Amino acid sequence: MTIGIGLIVTLACMLGGFMAMGGHVEVMWQPWEYVIICGAALGTFIVGNPMKTIKDAGVGLVEALLHKAPKKNDYLDTLGVLYSLMRELRTKPRNEVEAHFDDPSQSSIFQRYPSVVKNTEMLTFICDYCRLIIIGNARSHEIEALMDEEISTIKHDKLKAYHSMVTISESFPALGICAAVMGVIKAMGALNEAPEVLGHLIGAALVGTFAGIFFSYAVVTPIATNIKIVREKKLRLYYIVKQTLLAFMNGAMPQVALEYGRKAISGYERPTIDDVEQVTVAATDPNAGQKAAA
């Protein structure tokens, strides 16, 4: 939503200012210049990235345009499932608790939090470290080092789309110059034409330089930044899991351990203590929401 509004404001101010100076906006419509620039950018993007990164860049583009960052309910679901699992780990024997991690899709706990089940990578992350807690031989500082290493790897993979987009945005001005040079070459072949024709051809060539800079700094770079913002917000869920489980391993009660995870959320998005308490009550009594409604 904000990306679309921003592009509209940018185009309106830029073209409006150009027209106010007496420019003819129709001169800016040079479709073949845009084909040269955007086509070359797409080609170099394909050359410079493996297919997995190309596909992930498409996914990241959709996430940025729709701003598919975690919402308040996603944070609460994550905290809720962690609270339920910690209660199970404290009160149930190992064989009963392991069933939740062996087949999370059939687990009564995970089924109450569909947003966690849909996030398969996060689900695997939670199950893997809960299994290590069940084993009981690993020390908390060892688990913390392992979590940091895995989160670092996940972050590196998730930001590949961002880095690939930034690389392309940096190439757009040069590709715009290439398009402009090709336009100048065309204009040089028409030196015997009237000044009006020659001026139109040179103006069309200069549009290539403008388009390359515009696409770089006003389109691709902001979109790449939005991809990074959304991906980093999604990574915040992993830090919530990390802080909560480490606090639990160090002896904190489940309710207290949740506070460690809650504090890992940005202040302007952080659920209140009352919100988290409602989640824990629902985890203790799955019918609590229905009772409150009655």
What DSSP designation does 270 have?
Answer: P
pLDDT in the model for residue 38: 92
Contact (CB, 8 A) for 248 and 86:
yes
Query: What was the pLDDT predicted at 289?
Result: 45
| C-alpha 66: how far from chain center | 10
The residues, ordered by sequence, that sit 6+ positions from 52 with a Cβ below 8 Å of its Cβ are: none
Q: Where do the domains of the chain lie? A: 31-284
Output 44 or 281, whichever has higher pLDDT.
Answer: 44
pLDDT at 226 over 80: yes
Q: Which pLDDT does position 124 carry in this prediction? A: 92
pLDDT at 291: 43
Question: Mean pLDDT score of the chain, rounded to an integer?
Answer: 87
Query: What is the model's pLDDT at position 158?
Result: 94
Q: pLDDT tens digit string along 83-99?
A: 999 998 888 888 788 88
pLDDT at 290: 44
Tokens linked to 55: 């596909």
Averaged over 36-53, what is the pLDDT? 93
- Please give the residue that has the higher pLDDT: either 256 or 279: 256
What's the rounded mean pLDDT across residues 62-75?
91
Report the pLDDT value the prediction gives residue 287, as an integer from 0 to 100: 58
The pLDDT of 243-272, averaged and rounded, is 91
On the question of pLDDT at 250 being above 80, the answer is yes
Taking the C-alpha atoms of residue 142 and residue 127, their distance in angstroms, rounded to an integer, is: 17
Q: What is the pLDDT of residue 285?
A: 64
- Cα 2 from chain centre: 15
Which tokens belong to 264? 């890992």
Mean pLDDT of 252-266: 91
pLDDT in tens, 141-198: 889 999 999 999 999 999 999 999 999 999 999 999 998 888 888 888 877 777 777 7
Q: How confident is the model at residue 236 (pLDDT cuts 50, 70, 90)?
A: very high
pLDDT at residue 293 above 60?
Answer: no
Higher-pLDDT residue of 284 and 281 is 281
- pTM here is 0.85
- pLDDT average, residue stretch 219-226: 93
Outline where the chain has alpha helix (H). Answer: 2-20, 31-48, 51-66, 72-91, 94-102, 114-118, 120-135, 140-158, 160-188, 195-214, 221-249, 254-262, 273-284, 288-293
Q: How would you label 254-281 residue by residue, b for 16+ Cβ within 10 Å and e otherwise?
A: beebbbbbbebbeeeeebeeeebebbbe
Of 185, 209, 188, 208, nearest to 198 by C-alpha is: 188
Rounded mean pLDDT, 13-39: 86
Please give the pLDDT value at position 294: 40
Residue 292 reports pLDDT greater than 70: no
